[in-house]
Amino acid sequence: MDFYFHLCSLTLQRKATTSGKQLDAKTLRRLAQNREAARKSRLRKKAYVQQLESSRIKLSQLEQELQRARSQGLFMGGCGPPGPNITSGAAIFDMEYGRWLEDDNRHMSEIRTGLQAHLSDNDLRLIVDGYIAHFDEIFRLKAVAAKADVFHLIIGTWMSPAERCFIWMAGFRPSDLIKILVSQMDLLTEQQLMGIYSLQHSSQQAEEALSQGLEQLQQSLIDTLAASPVIDGMQQMAVALGKISNLEGFIRQADNLRQQTVHQLRRILTVRQAARCFLVIGEYYGRLRALSSLWLSRPRDSVSEQTRAAALAELRLISKQDPDSRLIIADAGAIPYLAETLYSSSHSSQENAAATLLNLSITSREPLMSSRGLLDALSHALRHHDTTTSPAAVQSSAATIYSLLITEESYRPIIGSKRDIIFSLIHIIRYADSHPRSIKDSLKALFAIALYPMNRSTMISLGAIPALFSLIVKDSRSGIVEDATAVMAQVAGCEESEEGMRRVSGANVLADLLDPCTGSSLRIKENAVGALLNLARCGGDAARSEVAAAVASGADEGAMEGIVYVAENGSVKGRKKAVDLLKLVVSGNGGGDSRFDYLLNENPNSRSS
């Protein structure tokens, strides 16, 4: 219609133009109205088309998420394979529950951080209240899901297998939760204990009443279905369906009991105790999910690769977010399987396994080192850094080596005896296409290995010195150069370093780093001082003379200026090393330089840092 009016308007205008007649005001007003109506109609059509396109995109996204929920229901819903006939309502719940679990992990992290940081009660109350609101959200999601597919909730496929062992009416038993809390909570007053025990007693009574009611409903359903066909078959099914609809009410009452129990606990406990309470709850269920992931990820022919990959991803997440779960994962025998997975051709499996091993190495070093084949698996991942191993797996493997060695001195000779590990780490820092993060993690691992003096000669024989100086000279990234010089400072502390340093003019390069003109950071200067001092001390008379000559021959005595700068501004250890190096250089050049008397005669430890 609007097109017709617009066409008429144009026709009238053309006629008026060709005939030379002037249109009256009424006609002009009518033409203007027609044009405005046509313009608004076009805008409405455009908005309608945009709305249709937006709806199509949203529908497509929803279909993709539903498909992902069906295919990856194990990971999102908690390690349970998706049912073959899962309804759309159940799939949506699984998807929403997966998001809820992600939020739950975030809330647990906030509570744990708040308790460790000793936040004030007001700040902690905000975190606790946020968790309560998050906790209430799951019951809203379950209420919607119960209307769509109550059997999906009752069966519990959205839970992990270990959680399903303890399922009661589509969730946990409140009384069991209270038992766990009482054993974990400390410093409860007598009044609080009485309140908690009273809550436990009332919860048990309510649970028994609901269980009896459910049993009666089940028996009634059995009687209806088993009855002789006195009535019409369809009518019999209708009666049975009516009884099944009552299941939704039982789930709702059980969820109300769970919700009221948690809220009542919040009222009984102080805000700090409540935070600890919710942390205990979250960690308990996190460990159940970890147990399920371990069970599903164990090597079996019957487990699909998709299921195993999802379990590995879950283990990685749990071991990162829950420190207490690491020992459980290690004790459950997961380490050999994680090590075996480093040989996998799947990059995602490699990355998840390597990251989980790194997380375990933070608190469970002994189980890792005592696991047969672990070091060989790490060596394999590092050795194939340029072919089959993903960069992320390489980085986690190198970081695991560092984590194992940095605090445990007894492990350093063990890993130092693995020449293939050292060779692979050196090859990573020498390889032109290595990822910067891989280089940095490999340098840290080499630093930890070099902390054991007997490992240094092995590192030198495998080409550590040329590789390190190649980074120092060619790499412009300050962090990389700092780490490379830190390793060099350790490697220089052995007799074999003299020949290796001479081949690459190492003393001169280190002396250049001390020159202010190079713009080296204080840490690089400290490392250069340490490397020159160790070379002079461990390399004999020739090495001492070479170090003294390299420092003294620097342009405009820039190297001497750098040593003085470290002696005045460095860390406690750095200042002491700088003074010792200064003494060595001054004495090596005949002594008698009064410019440095104020440093040479002063105790470097007496100056504040």
Question: Cα separation of 49 and 84, whole Å?
Answer: 37
Mean pLDDT of all residues in 432-447: 94
Token output for 349: 């499996």
Per the model's pLDDT, the better-predicted residue between 429 and 162 turns out to be: 429
Secondary element (H or E) of residue 78:
none
Mean pLDDT of all residues in 475-485: 89
Per the model's pLDDT, the better-predicted residue between 189 and 30 turns out to be: 189
What is the SS3 string spanning 298-347? CCCCCCCHHHHHHHHHHHHHHHHHCCCHHHHHHHCCHHHHHHHHCCCCCH
pLDDT tens digits, one per residue of 176-199:
888 888 877 777 888 988 999 999
Mean pLDDT of all residues in 510-534: 92
Residue 197 domain flag = yes
Q: Is the pLDDT of residue 344 over 60?
A: yes
The pLDDT of residue 375: 94
The pLDDT of residue 92: 85
Domain match, 182 and 108 both: yes
In the chain the first and final C-alpha atoms are separated, in Å, by 86
Residue 471 domain flag = no
Mean pLDDT of all residues in 45-71: 64
Mean pLDDT of all residues in 352-357: 94
Q: Is the pLDDT of residue 608 over 50?
A: no
pLDDT tens digits, one per residue of 367-396:
999 998 999 999 999 999 999 999 999 999
Q: Is the pLDDT of residue 42 over 50?
A: yes
Phi, psi of 521 (to 5 degrees): -75, 165
CA 82 vs CA 67, 73, 74, 75, 289: distances in Å? 11, 5, 7, 10, 16
Q: Is the pLDDT of residue 138 over 60?
A: yes
CA 105 vs CA 108, 136, 262: distances in Å? 5, 15, 18
Per the model's pLDDT, the better-predicted residue between 229 and 28 turns out to be: 28
Q: How confident is the model at residue 130 (pLDDT cuts 50, 70, 90)?
A: very high
Sign of CA dihedral 37, 43, 46, 52: negative
The pLDDT of residue 1: 47
Mean pLDDT of all residues in 453-466: 95
Q: Are 170 and 153 in contact (CB under 8 A)?
A: yes
Q: Are 501 and 489 in contact (CB under 8 A)?
A: no
Q: Are 124 and 271 in contact (CB under 8 A)?
A: yes
The pLDDT of residue 419: 95
Mean pLDDT of all residues in 513-517: 89
Domain match, 491 and 448 both: no
The pLDDT of residue 443: 96
The pLDDT of residue 188: 83
Domain match, 497 and 450 both: no
Mean pLDDT of all residues in 494-499: 92
The pLDDT of residue 80: 43
pLDDT tens digits, one per residue of 409-434:
999 999 999 999 999 999 999 998 99
Per the model's pLDDT, the better-predicted residue between 89 and 303 turns out to be: 89
pLDDT tens digits, one per residue of 320-329:
877 878 888 8
Q: How confident is the model at residue 461 (pLDDT cuts 50, 70, 90)?
A: very high
Question: Cα separation of 375 and 422, whole Å?
Answer: 12
Number of residues assigned to the chain: 609
The pLDDT of residue 229: 58
Single out the residue in 71, 95, 130 at which a domain terminates: 71
Structural domain harbouring 369: 333-462
Q: Specify which of 61-75, 117-131, 287-301 reaches the highest per-range mean pLDDT.
A: 117-131
For residue 58, the one-letter residue type is: K
Angle 190-226/174-184 helices, nearest 10 degrees? Answer: 150
Q: Is the pLDDT of residue 603 over 80?
A: no
Domain match, 449 and 494 both: no
Q: Is the pLDDT of residue 144 over 80?
A: yes
Q: How confident is the model at residue 261 (pLDDT cuts 50, 70, 90)?
A: very high
pLDDT tens digits, one per residue of 549-565:
888 775 446 888 899 89
The pLDDT of residue 70: 46
Q: What is the mean pLDDT of the chain?
A: 82
Domain match, 134 and 260 both: yes
Domain match, 63 and 118 both: no
The pLDDT of residue 403: 95
Domain match, 522 and 448 both: no
Residue 435 domain flag = yes
The pLDDT of residue 448: 96
CA 407 vs CA 218, 325, 378: distances in Å? 60, 21, 19
Among 433, 437, 415, residue whose Cα is nearest residue 483: 437
Percent of the chain's residues with pLDDT above 70: 83
Residue 77 domain flag = no
Q: Is the pLDDT of residue 87 over 90?
A: no
Domain match, 261 and 402 both: no
Residue 288 domain flag = no
Q: How confident is the model at residue 472 (pLDDT cuts 50, 70, 90)?
A: very high
Q: How confident is the model at residue 301 (pLDDT cuts 50, 70, 90)?
A: low
The pLDDT of residue 75: 37
The number of distinct structural domains making up the chain is 4
Q: How confident is the model at residue 61 (pLDDT cuts 50, 70, 90)?
A: low
Token output for 421: 């590990």
Domain match, 67 and 117 both: no
Domain match, 169 and 273 both: yes
The pLDDT of residue 156: 79
Percent of the chain's residues with pLDDT above 90: 38
Q: Write down the pTM of the prediction.
A: 0.61
Mean pLDDT of all residues in 526-534: 94
Sign of CA dihedral 98, 103, 106, 111: negative
The pLDDT of residue 190: 87
Domain match, 497 and 603 both: yes
Domain match, 43 and 90 both: no
The pLDDT of residue 246: 82
Single out the residue in 259, 280, 301 at which a domain terminates: 280
Q: Are 41 and 60 in contact (CB under 8 A)?
A: no
**Could you tell me the CATH number of the domain that includes residue 398?**
1.25.10
* DSSP label at residue 554: S
Q: Are 406 and 366 in contact (CB under 8 A)?
A: no
Residue 144 domain flag = yes
Q: Is the pLDDT of residue 4 over 50?
A: no
Single out the residue in 242, 262, 280 at which a domain terminates: 280
Residue 341 domain flag = yes
Q: How confident is the model at residue 163 (pLDDT cuts 50, 70, 90)?
A: confident
Per the model's pLDDT, the better-predicted residue between 31 and 549 turns out to be: 549
For residue 225, the one-letter residue type is: L
Q: Is the pLDDT of residue 446 over 50?
A: yes
Q: How confident is the model at residue 86 (pLDDT cuts 50, 70, 90)?
A: low
The pLDDT of residue 410: 93
Residue 437 domain flag = yes
